[in-house]
Chains A and B, each alone.
Chain A
Amino acid sequence: MRRRAIIVGGGPAGLTAARTLAEAGVPDVLVLERNPDAGGLPRFAGHPGWGMLDFHRIWTGPAYARRLVAAALAAGAAIRTGTSVVALRPGGVEIATQAGVERIDADIVLLATGIREASRAARLVSGTRPWGTVTTGAFQEMVYAGGMVPFRRPVVVGTELVSFSALLTARHAGIRPLAMIEAGPRITARRPADLITRLALGVPVRTGTRLLAIEGRDRVEAVRIAHAAGEERIACDGVILTGRFVPEAALVRASHLALDPGTGGPAIDSAWRCSDPAFFAAGNMLRGVEHSGAVALEGRAAARSVLDALAGKLPAAATARPVEAGGALRYVYPQRFLPDSEAPLRLFVRAAHAHRGVLRVLADGRPIREQRVNALPERRISLCLPADAVRGAAVLRVELA
């Protein structure tokens, strides 16, 4: 049986897309979720902070995840949990279920496989490799879903928003982090988070401080850190590696779809289409982390584009033209735009490193937008260009000089 639309990944983006498609009358929307429960990463962040952008409420992560699932089901979408997509093929996907490996064909496949934090190995952290080094995701899942704690006095590495989520989780579990260290000169998350730490949680935040090595034989015994004043050893029993999210794009990497080395996710056009126009992608798999509310809204926007595609109203994928990133930019997405679209073009960029300068958009070499920015590598900058400004252009270039 060939379906109209399948969605790979039942997190905020995928579930919101499923709900949007089903509400619009697509009769056979199917979400494939490899875990026993849909809901995505918010399932394991037990403190409040979810739902603002998309539900205009503030819930805990698990409550938010349940709402996402309920809304998708109520709209008529089907969710198959315990179903691993193992390959993307032209015209469909291969899945592994308890019935074995099989293929599902679909007109449209929407990818929404999310993100994960960079592992200790991917960060190339020096030292021994004892038990007790975990990412925030693993830590939160152990605490909130497993009711277990792997350590009592860890050191937290990183100061992204998720790093503060790790502190809240630690407090919930009665864990007292010894320090939160940040290699950069300032906290990565926006300022209120800084306040939370100092006022509410009492964890010393040490900027300009690098993790040099992890020590310990069977369990973490200490970390060695370096700062302007020299090196230091902190005896501790765990390390929480936070943030540095990367797209969970393994399926894309192994598939026929084009991957953008800058974002680490699939390359899309401004209608959320991958290099094979039967595949769409949305959410954090496009580029690392944005808050789940923003991700959910992306899922909705991508679903609307899928509806246009199913109705034959989307401009041909072949008309899309490249958007290039230059200068101090790490990436721009979408990586292609539709030069004949009536809709304004929204581009997202990130700097490769902290940079104060001029962000410029060029259409066929001609500047169409220029603005001064104070760019930080962790912050996404969005640009909205009127349709007229890019109409007919053969190539767009965004550069940070």
Chain B
Amino acid sequence: MKPRATGEGIVFDVAVIGAGVVGCAVFREFALAGLGAVLIERGPDILGGASKANSALLHTGFDAVPGSLEAACVREGSARYRAIHHRLGLPLLETGAIVVAWSEADLAALPGIVARAHENGVMNVRQIDAGDVRAREPHLALDLRGGVLVPGEAVIDAWSAPLAYVLQGLAHGGAVLRNTDVTGGTRDADGWTLATGQGPLRARLVVNCAGLQGDIVEAIARPSPFSIRPRKGQFVVLDKTAHRLLRSIVLPVPNERTKGVVLARTAFGNLLVGPTAEEQQDRDNATIEEPALEALLEQGRRMVPELAAEPVTAAYAGLRPATQFKDYCIEALPDRRWITVGGIRSTGLTGALGIAAHLHRLYARHFGALPPAPEPIWTPVPNLAEELPRPWQQAGRDEIVCHCEMVTRAEILAALDGPLPAGDIGGLKRRTRCMMGRCQGFYCTRRVMELAGTRLPGLVSALPAGRG
């Protein structure tokens, strides 16, 4: 089942288009199942689209639409992450969440939230009174009215997880092609010949995990049944000292007027406020906007007044590949030797491993049984989470390059090397945390460029001769 050479080159069993978190998990799934898998990404690195900017939460699915595919994938994805995270060196901050009611209307909505959670099989969700919320979160504003406790919601590292999935897929013989845009394809009895910027690529099965480009890629196989309607979310990251102000993830009560914002700790020891939810046409550019960031900060301070004293560390925006449908659009097209994975809006990080398991079953049903896989090779990624040991704490550590995030030279060099080296500066930052801390590169940019400048071309050029 390994890729075999043909007259025209390699024929892969499965080509996964799109190296967002879903594509990474699907690639891992098929590679671990023993198929010859290739992951194709148009950007210079994985996670360049929707997956580069999210809230990094591992959801329980307590608030999903009961019976939906999303609910099932989130539930299974969460369970699978919990089962394997330690094998891959991935963090899991068991923070739990509280859906906090700030008004009479919010309060009235809480029983419905609990009922839906139970319908979704998340049975440990329960309503708690205002005193209980305050006892758990003493820094919340005093006008809170009550809450719903969701013990299983957790915080993870949204970038290391998909990286670990890909590395494990690579260890199982998979291949990753970056800077490779899929522009079209033709199908014959054996499968697909995909037209890419790097030349034709043969695969017996294509899985469309193209996220924000999902409907465009889908058009290679058929008129897309869904259309992507990018939804922008902006976030503000507050200083690490804000981390002590909350233990749980604070979730809003969704209502008709506003989605409300989430307050959550991050695996890296910061506090996150966001997202906004803004429809836009542009699939590629997610701008941050000062008024929206100010509004997020204001909302954060309304919930936790002490946030007023906390400096802003970072601000970012991401696009979610929403469609006209609420649920995921996942479908196997056996005649076309194609699997569609579209419209994975905001639960993709949690759902990814569940979606991958779902696809494994779809494959077995439509494209042939998969033999039982041998015990996987585990490829742990370097830890970036604050709560777990980091290299800077170890005796014999290398020079610290980024002082805000305590990133050593060895970590940066490692991220520029290995089976999936950082493909751009964003990839390097996501792999190491360098330049991601409170100074945002004031202290470390030069040193990072000295280490990475030649590996990541186009960032800096040499000073003109005679000016050194």
Question: Which A residues have a C-beta under 8 Å from some C-beta of B?
Answer: 34, 36, 44, 82, 84, 86, 96, 98-101, 116-117, 119-122, 124-129, 131, 134-135, 137-138, 141-143, 145-150, 172-174, 213, 217-219, 246, 248, 250, 253-254, 261, 264
Say yes or no: A131 contacts B425, CB within 8 Å.
yes
How close is A48's CB to chain B, nearest CB, in angstroms? 16
- The answer to whether A148 and B460 touch (CB under 8 A), given A84-B406, A96-B392, A217-B284, is yes
Say yes or no: A124 contacts B464, CB within 8 Å.
no
Give the residue of A34, A100, A124, A141 whose beta carbon is less than 8 angstroms from that of B394.
A100
**Assembled-state Cα–Cα distance A149/B446 (Å):** 10
- The answer to whether A254 and B240 touch (CB under 8 A), given A137-B442, A149-B460, is yes
Say yes or no: B449 contacts A142, CB within 8 Å.
yes
> B239 on the interface (CB 8 Å rule)?
yes
Q: Chain A residues near B287: list those with CB within 8 A.
A: 126-128, 213
Q: Chain A residues near B316: list those with CB within 8 A.
A: 129
Say yes or no: B442 contacts A34, CB within 8 Å.
no
> B453 on the interface (CB 8 Å rule)?
yes
**Assembled-state Cα–Cα distance A172/B290 (Å):** 34
Q: Chain A residues near B393: list those with CB within 8 A.
A: 96, 100-101
Q: Chain B residues near A217: list those with CB within 8 A.
A: 284-285
Q: Chain B residues near A124: list those with CB within 8 A.
A: 288, 290, 293-294, 312, 315
Say yes or no: B445 contacts A148, CB within 8 Å.
no
Give the residue of A96, A98, A119, A138 whose beta carbon is less than 8 angstroms from that of B446.
A138
Of A100, A117, A250, the most chain B CB neighbours within 10 A belong to A250
**Assembled-state Cα–Cα distance A134/B445 (Å):** 9
Say yes or no: A145 contacts B446, CB within 8 Å.
yes
Give the residue of A99, A126, A131, A264 whose beta carbon is less than 8 angstroms from that of B459.
A131
How close is A299's CB to chain B, nearest CB, in angstroms? 20
- The answer to whether A142 and B445 touch (CB under 8 A), given A84-B406, A254-B241, is yes
Question: 1/0 contact trace for B430-448 toward A, CB 8 Å?
Answer: 0000000011111101100
How close is A52's CB to chain B, nearest CB, in angstroms? 25
**Assembled-state Cα–Cα distance A333/B303 (Å):** 31
How close is A372's CB to chain B, nearest CB, in angstroms? 33
**Assembled-state Cα–Cα distance A127/B399 (Å):** 34
Q: Chain B residues near A219: list those with CB within 8 A.
A: 458
> B112 on the interface (CB 8 Å rule)?
no
How close is B266's CB to chain A, nearest CB, in angstroms? 14
Say yes or no: B400 contacts A134, CB within 8 Å.
no
Known: A134-B441, A174-B464. 20 other contacts (CB 8 A): A44-B446, A82-B399, A82-B400, A96-B397, A98-B397, A100-B397, A119-B438, A119-B439, A121-B314, A122-B311, A124-B293, A125-B290, A126-B288, A138-B446, A142-B445, A145-B446, A148-B446, A149-B460, A150-B449, A217-B285
Give the residue of B293, B395, B460 whose beta carbon is less than 8 angstroms from that of A142.
B460
How close is A263's CB to chain B, nearest CB, in angstroms? 13
Chain B residue nearest in CB terms to A138: B445
Q: Chain A residues near B241: list those with CB within 8 A.
A: 250, 253-254
Q: Chain A residues near B453: list those with CB within 8 A.
A: 148
Say yes or no: B400 contacts A173, CB within 8 Å.
no
> B309 on the interface (CB 8 Å rule)?
yes
**Assembled-state Cα–Cα distance A86/B446 (Å):** 22
Q: Chain A residues near B315: list those with CB within 8 A.
A: 121, 124
Segment 185-221 of B: residues with Cβ below 8 Å from A: none
Question: Which B residues have a C-beta under 8 Å from some C-beta of A?
Answer: 237, 239-241, 284-290, 293-294, 309, 311-316, 392-397, 399-400, 403-404, 406, 424-425, 438-443, 445-446, 449-450, 453, 458-464, 467-468
Give the residue of B286, B395, B400, B464 whose beta carbon is less than 8 angstroms from that of A34.
B400
Q: Chain A residues near B239: list those with CB within 8 A.
A: 250, 253
**Assembled-state Cα–Cα distance A213/B314 (Å):** 16
Q: Chain A residues near B289: list those with CB within 8 A.
A: 126
Say yes or no: B467 contacts A173, CB within 8 Å.
yes
**Assembled-state Cα–Cα distance A150/B446 (Å):** 10
Say yes or no: B309 contacts A261, CB within 8 Å.
yes
Q: Chain B residues near A253: list those with CB within 8 A.
A: 239, 241
**Assembled-state Cα–Cα distance A253/B461 (Å):** 37
Q: How many A-B residue pairs have CB under 8 A?
A: 134
Give the residue of B288, B400, B443, B449 whose beta carbon is less than 8 angstroms from that of A116.
B443
Chain B residue nearest in CB terms to A97: B397
How close is A72's CB to chain B, nearest CB, in angstroms? 21
How close is B240's CB to chain A, nearest CB, in angstroms? 7
Say yes or no: B459 contacts A150, CB within 8 Å.
yes
**Assembled-state Cα–Cα distance A125/B292 (Å):** 11
Chain B residue nearest in CB terms to A135: B442
| Between-chain CB contacts (< 8 Å), 26 pairs | A84-B392, A86-B406, A100-B394, A119-B438, A120-B440, A121-B237, A121-B314, A121-B315, A122-B313, A122-B440, A124-B293, A125-B288, A126-B290, A128-B285, A134-B445, A135-B440, A135-B442, A141-B445, A142-B449, A147-B468, A148-B461, A150-B449, A173-B464, A174-B463, A250-B241, A264-B311
Q: Chain A residues near B294: list those with CB within 8 A.
A: 124
**Assembled-state Cα–Cα distance A219/B241 (Å):** 32
Say yes or no: B440 contacts A96, CB within 8 Å.
no
Say yes or no: A96 contacts B406, CB within 8 Å.
yes
- The answer to whether A99 and B446 touch (CB under 8 A), given A121-B312, A148-B460, is no
Q: Chain A residues near B240: list those with CB within 8 A.
A: 250, 254
Say yes or no: A122 contacts B442, CB within 8 Å.
no
Give the residue of B395, B425, B439, B441 whose beta carbon is less than 8 angstroms from that of A100.
B395
How close is B457's CB to chain A, nearest CB, in angstroms? 12
Q: Chain B residues near A137: list those with CB within 8 A.
A: 442-443
**Assembled-state Cα–Cα distance A126/B315 (Å):** 10
Say yes or no: B403 contacts A84, CB within 8 Å.
yes
Chain B residue nearest in CB terms to A212: B290
**Assembled-state Cα–Cα distance A268/B401 (Å):** 31
Say yes or no: B404 contacts A250, CB within 8 Å.
yes
Q: Chain B residues near A120: list those with CB within 8 A.
A: 440
Q: Chain A residues near B284: list those with CB within 8 A.
A: 217
Q: Chain B residues near A149: list those with CB within 8 A.
A: 460-463
How close is B363's CB to chain A, nearest CB, in angstroms? 36
Of B392, B403, B445, the most chain A CB neighbours within 10 A belong to B445
**Assembled-state Cα–Cα distance A295/B453 (Å):** 34
Chain A residue nearest in CB terms to B395: A100
Say yes or no: B439 contacts A116, CB within 8 Å.
yes
- The answer to whether A146 and B288 touch (CB under 8 A), given A96-B392, A173-B463, is no
**Assembled-state Cα–Cα distance A264/B312 (Å):** 13
**Assembled-state Cα–Cα distance A149/B467 (Å):** 11
Q: State the 4 A-B residue pairs at the shortest beta-carbon distance, nearest first.
A: A119-B440, A138-B445, A100-B395, A141-B446
Say yes or no: A96 contacts B441, CB within 8 Å.
no
**Assembled-state Cα–Cα distance A174/B466 (Å):** 10
Q: Chain A residues near B449: list those with CB within 8 A.
A: 142, 146, 148, 150
**Assembled-state Cα–Cα distance A240/B288 (Å):** 18
Chain A residue nearest in CB terms to B393: A101
Give the residue of B293, B395, B460 whose beta carbon is less than 8 angstroms from that of A150.
B460
Chain A residue nearest in CB terms to B284: A217
Q: Chain A residues near B290: list those with CB within 8 A.
A: 124-126
- The answer to whether A98 and B463 touch (CB under 8 A), given A128-B285, A141-B445, is no
Of A131, A145, A213, the most chain B CB neighbours within 10 A belong to A131
**Assembled-state Cα–Cα distance A148/B441 (Å):** 15
**Assembled-state Cα–Cα distance A134/B446 (Å):** 11
